[in-house]
Structure 1
Amino acid sequence: MKKYAYIGFLGFVAVITTEFGVIGILPQIAEHYKISIDKAGYLLSAFALIIALTGPFMTLLTAGFDRKKIMLISVFLFLVTGMISSFSPPFWILILVRILPAFLQPVYIATALSVAVSKAAPEKKNELMSIVFSGVTVAMVTTVPFATWISSVYSWEYSFIIQTIVSLIALLAIYFMLPSMPVKERKSSGSQLKILSQPTFILSTATNFFMITAWFSTYSYFADYLNKAKGMNETMISYMLFVFGIIGVLSTWIAGKMLNKNVTKTTAFFLSGTVLIPVLLHISNGNILSTIIVIGIWGFMYSPSFLNASTYMISSVPDSLEFANSLATSFGNLGVTLGTTIGGWIIVTKGVEYTPWIGFVFGLLAFLMMIFRSILEKKENTAMVCKE
């Protein structure tokens, strides 16, 4: 049912606005708290690290709970985070309230995806998943750039007020529009943990990890990069986030259609952006028009990354959607943590203009994992044919 997919989408907008809404205001937060940009980046990397470390366990722990209640509790925590953060508390409290909802973020995503495809025909599942995941790109188009623009007009605290409002809308939508959805048949933890021993799933997980690390080594410092490497002011950066996101909505829709036809080729196509974008950013140099064009291409190639990564992982274990997706979310966020950490270190030691080349290296590693999985699958298929 598309209705369930769109409800999940609304919650996803709230979740992503909270997680990535700080990207456009990191320089302002660093200035307010008198800290370096890499320390301000902890607001993103700490959030992602909690998801990476606890996601699968929290998903297994909450597997038997009513799905509507899980989604409500998750989004409520994001609402509380935005509310407290808008009062500009001491930095340690700001990090603490950022961390709390991170425990339930992968649970929300896994549950929302499960709800979206619960009554769908197999050939429609990837398309419904793309509707839920389009919450990422819609947030990039609307709430994230709008929050960045609001912070440039007033102050960074207003960015968190926007996050609170978005979470409230999502909370009301889930409460009034989603029926109670108790879990009728709970899979045993043992049966789900078996996927961790499958080589193709392990290689798919590595692909996800390297892919997200590649993208976030630069994207985490999007505002700082465009400001220092390309000479853009805060208002211009908010426009660039809008361009980035509006193109991303289109690319996520296209990716959903492409995934229905071929998961591996679609993942490889969008992954190629991690190698292409650093080269194009270098060539564009200080030319504003060229940079805007490259940002558009960047948004197109980056935006379906979480959808592609999750679908690619699930394709190796199609019978374990929720647990596989929670692992995809965890390892994706581990990639966010590593990309943000390495990117921050490069900014401090070398300069922000070098961050895209980190993505180039990790993008190649992701491609290598895909090649290994392809070789392994061919061997397994050959072995099955020989047995027959």
Structure 2
Amino acid sequence: MKKYAYIGCLGFIAVITTEFGVIGILPQIAEHYKTSIDKAGYLLSAFALVIALTGPFMTLLVSGFDRKKIMLTSIAIFLITGFVSSFSPPFWVLMLVRILPAFLQPVYIATALSVAVSKADDDKKNELMSIVFSGVTLAMVTTVPFATWLSSLWSWEYSFMIQTVVSFIALSVIYLMLPSMPVSKKKSYGTQLKILTKPAFILSTAANFFMITAWFSTYSYFADYLNRAKGMDETMISYMLFVFGIVGVFSTWLAGKMLNRNVTKTTAFFLSGTLVIPVLLYFSNGNLLLTIAVIAIWGFMYSPSFLNASTYMISSVPDSLEFANSLATSFGNLGVTLGTTLGGWMIVSKGVAYNPWIGFVFGSLAFVMMILRSFYEKSDRQIIAH
């Protein structure tokens, strides 16, 4: 049912507003707490690292619980995080309340996707998953730039107030509109863990990890990059986040349609952005109109990355949607952590203008993993044929 997919999407908006809402305000947070931009980046990388390390285990742990209760609990933690953060607590408290919802973020995503496709035909599943994942791009076009814009008018705490409001709306909708969904038949842990031995899944996981690392080496410092490398002020950056997101909503919808036709080609097409964008950003130099055009292309190529990465991984083990997706979320967030860490290191050592080239290197590695999986599956089919 599409209704379930849209409910999952709304919760996803709350999740992403909390996780990535700090991207537009990292320079302000660094200034407020008198710390460096790479240290402020820990608010993003620590969040992602917790997801990476605990996601699959948490998903396995709660796999037998009522799905509505899981989604409600997850969003409630996100609400508490936004509320406490909006009072500008000491940095260690801010870090602590940022980390708490990370334990349940992959659980929410895996559960929302499972609920969305629970009554769908096979040929509609990727499209319904793209509706849920469109929460990422909708957050990028609405709540994230709006929160950044408000913080540029007043102060960074307003960004967290927006996160609180969005989480409250999502919590209310899930509570009122989603029926109780107990799990009728729980899969054994052994059955779910078996996918970790499949070479195609391992290569897909590596491709996901490198892909997300590539994108986040620059995207994590979007505000800092546009400010220092392109000379934009906070208001202009909030407009650029809006452009980035608007294009992303369309590209995520398009990616959902394309994935229904061919998962590998769609993933490769959008991954090519990690190679193209650094070159375009370099040649756009200080030209404002060219830079805006490149940011639009960047938003188009980047936005379906989590959808593509998850679908590409699930396509290698179609019978293990929830656990495979939790691993996709975990390794994607491990990519966020590595990308953010390397990006912060590059800013401190060379300068933010060099960050996109980290993306070029890791994007190339992701392509190598995709090619290896393709060769493996081809040889596997030949063995079966003989």
TM-score tier after normalising by the smaller chain length: over 0.9
Q: Does 1:359 align with 2:359?
A: yes
Letter in 2 for 1:24: G
Cα distance in 1 between the residues matched to 2:97 and 2:131: 29
- What residue in structure 1 maps to residue 333 of structure 2? 333
Give the aligned partner of residue 284 of structure 2. 284
- Structure 2 equivalent of residue 250 of structure 1: 250
Amino acid at match of 1:234: E
Question: 3-state DSSP class of the match of 1:286?
Answer: coil
Structure 1 segments, 4+ long, off by >2 Å, are none
Cα distance in structure 1, aligned partners of 2:346 and 2:297: 24
2:16 aligns with 16
Equivalent position amino acid for 1:236 in 2:
M
Q: Indicate the residue corresponding to 1:82 in structure 2.
A: 82
1:199 aligns with 2:199: yes
Q: Which residue of structure 1 aligns with residue 234 of structure 2?
A: 234
Q: Does 1:47 align with 2:47?
A: yes
- Spell out, residue by residue over 1:44-73, the C-alpha distance to the aligned partner (whole angstroms, 9 max, x if none): 000000000000000000000000000000
- Aligned position for 1:147: 147
Alpha-carbon displacement from aligned partner over 1:177-213 (angstroms, at most 9, x marks no partner):
0000000000000000000000000000000000000
CA RMSD of aligned residues (A): 0.2
- Partners of 2:297 and 2:381 in 1: how far apart? 37
Which residue does 1:215 correspond to in 2? 215
In structure 1, what is the equivalent of residue 309 of structure 2?
Answer: 309
Q: CA deviation at 1:253?
A: 0.3
Q: Distance in 2 between matches of 1:5 and 1:49?
A: 27
> Could you list the runs of 5+ residues in structure 1 that have no partner in the other structure?
none
Secondary structure (helix, strand or coil) at the match of 2:8 reads helix
**Match of 1:228, as an amino acid?**
R
1:338, distance to aligned residue in structure 2 (A): 0.1
* CA shift for structure 1 position 19: 0.1
Which whole-Å deviations, capped at 9, do the CAs of 1:195-243 have from their partners, x for residues lacking one? 0000000000000000000000000000000000000000000000000
Q: What letter corresponds to residue 322 of structure 1 in structure 2?
A: E
Do structure 1's residue 163 and structure 2's residue 160 form an aligned pair? no
Per-residue displacement from partner, 1:250-291 (whole Å, max 9, x unpaired)?
Answer: 000000000000000000000000000000000000000000
Partner of residue 346, structure 2:
346
Counterpart of 1:70 in structure 2 is 70
SS at match of 2:313: helix
User: 1:119-158, aligned counterparts within 5 Å?
Assistant: 119-158=119-158
Distance in structure 2 (CA, Å) of the matches to 1:320 and 1:200: 14
Deviation string for 1:161-189 (max 9, x for gaps)? 00000000000000000000000000000
Shift of 1:336: 0.0
1:106 equivalent in structure 2:
106
Identity %: 82
* Cα-to-partner distance string for 1:328-354 (whole Å, 9 max, x where unaligned): 000000000000000000000000000
Measure how far apart 1:10 and its partner are: 0.2
Instruction: Report the CA distance between 1:109 and its aligned residue.
Output: 0.1
The count of aligned residue pairs is 386
Q: CA deviation at 1:37?
A: 0.1
Q: How does 1:370-381 map to 2 (within 5 A)?
A: 370-381=370-381
1:252-271 alignment runs, 5 A limit: 252-271=252-271
- Tell me which amino acid in the other structure corresponds to 1:66: D
Report the AA paired with residue 380 of structure 1: D
* Counterparts of 1:350 and 1:36, CA distance in 2: 15
2:35 aligned counterpart, secondary structure: coil
d(CA) in 2 for partners of 1:152, 1:262: 42
Residue 254 of structure 1 aligns to a residue in which SS?
Answer: helix
Partner AA of 1:326 in structure 2: S
